[in-house]
Amino acid sequence: MSGTLYLVPTPIGNLGDLSPRAAGTLAAVDFIAAEDTRVTLKLLNHLGLKKPMVSYYRHNTESRGEAVLQRILAGENCALVTDAGTPAISDPGEELVRACAQAGAPVVSIPGPCALITALAASGLPTGRFTFEGFLPMNRKNRQAHLDSLRGEGRTMLFYEAPHKLPATLRDLRDAFGPDRPVALCRELTKLHEEIRRTTLGEAADWYEANPPKGEFVLVVQGEQAPPPEAPDLEAGLERVAALRAEGLSLRDAARQAARELGLARNALYQAALGETARMP
């Protein structure tokens, strides 16, 4: 009978965020597939655990993934962990989950720390609809194509970025979405120097041009806002009232009908039409 792949999120800065269920799973599995075994060893030492580990990182997902899958299919339970946060989210894991799913091995995803959700919740920007864009491509052409694909995007957009690339990314985001677009820069989440700066892309680009950023960042960019609906036009209402009056309707009936047709407040239109009538020679 097949074993199970457990996706175990680890803290993104604060060790207190490792859940009892995550710790219990690390204690219970047969082995751990870790992005960096040295980082995970520190976590295991903190928990007082000893566990066999294999490394599973970006450049060996194919070969090592197959070996991990075979062990799971042979009946072993495996916990997949990355250096910080939720596996398979801008981290190794996606291919292994797919391989397990295709081979019929159960996958259990344990909820826990994830930088993008932590940032979104604290951003103060709309959370109802959002799109996670991960890291923008480094290649100029692919990067521009990615930004072009977000033109007119109305949902809140989330980006991961390394500090040394942040100034260039902020410049590109400003050029793509305009300097006035609101952004929340969520830095060092859950850590001692956690900071959430709510500003605009223009101001953020200028600030980090002059002040080299430090620490880890999630950028939360507001989506494009639909233009406000046009205010109902009282002038058009009065013209319609006049036309209906010419057809023989009373002032009250003409105002009621014109208001209904044009989506205006009936009483306001009636009072305005009354004023017009009084001004007539």
Binding residues for ligand SAM, rule: CB under 6 A, are 12-13, 82, 84-86, 89-91, 114-116, 160-162, 186, 188-191, 216-218
243: phi then psi, degrees, rounded to nearest 5 = -65, -40
Q: Give the nearest distance from C-beta 271 to ligand SAM in angstroms.
A: 56
- Rounded Cα distance between 209 and 91, Å, is 28
Q: Are 69 and 99 in contact (CB under 8 A)?
A: yes
CA atoms 238, 243, 246, 249: torsion sign:
negative
Q: Give the nearest distance from C-beta 261 to ligand SAM in angstroms.
A: 53
Q: Give the nearest distance from C-beta 192 to ligand SAM in angstroms.
A: 11
Tell me whether residue 18 or residue 254 sits nearer to ligand SAM (CB atom).
18
Strands of the chain (E only): list them.
5-7, 31-34, 53-55, 78-81, 107-109, 130-135, 156-161, 182-187, 195-200, 217-221
Tell me whether residue 137 or residue 275 sits nearer to ligand SAM (CB atom).
137
Tell me whether residue 77 or residue 161 sits nearer to ligand SAM (CB atom).
161
Tell me whether residue 85 or residue 223 sits nearer to ligand SAM (CB atom).
85
Tell me whether residue 94 or residue 175 sits nearer to ligand SAM (CB atom).
94
Residues linked to residue 199 through DSSP beta bridges, in sequence order: 183
Q: Give the nearest distance from C-beta 147 to ligand SAM in angstroms.
A: 17
Query: Which DSSP string corresponds to 129-142?
Result: SEEEEEEPPSSHHH
Give the tokens for residue 64.
Answer: 């090592």
Q: Give the nearest distance from C-beta 83 to ligand SAM in angstroms.
A: 7
- Rounded Cα distance between 139 and 142, Å, is 5
Q: Give the nearest distance from C-beta 207 to ligand SAM in angstroms.
A: 17
The helix (H) or strand (E) run that includes residue 150 is none
Q: Helix, strand or coil for residue 84?
A: coil
Tell me whether residue 108 or residue 162 sits nearer to ligand SAM (CB atom).
162
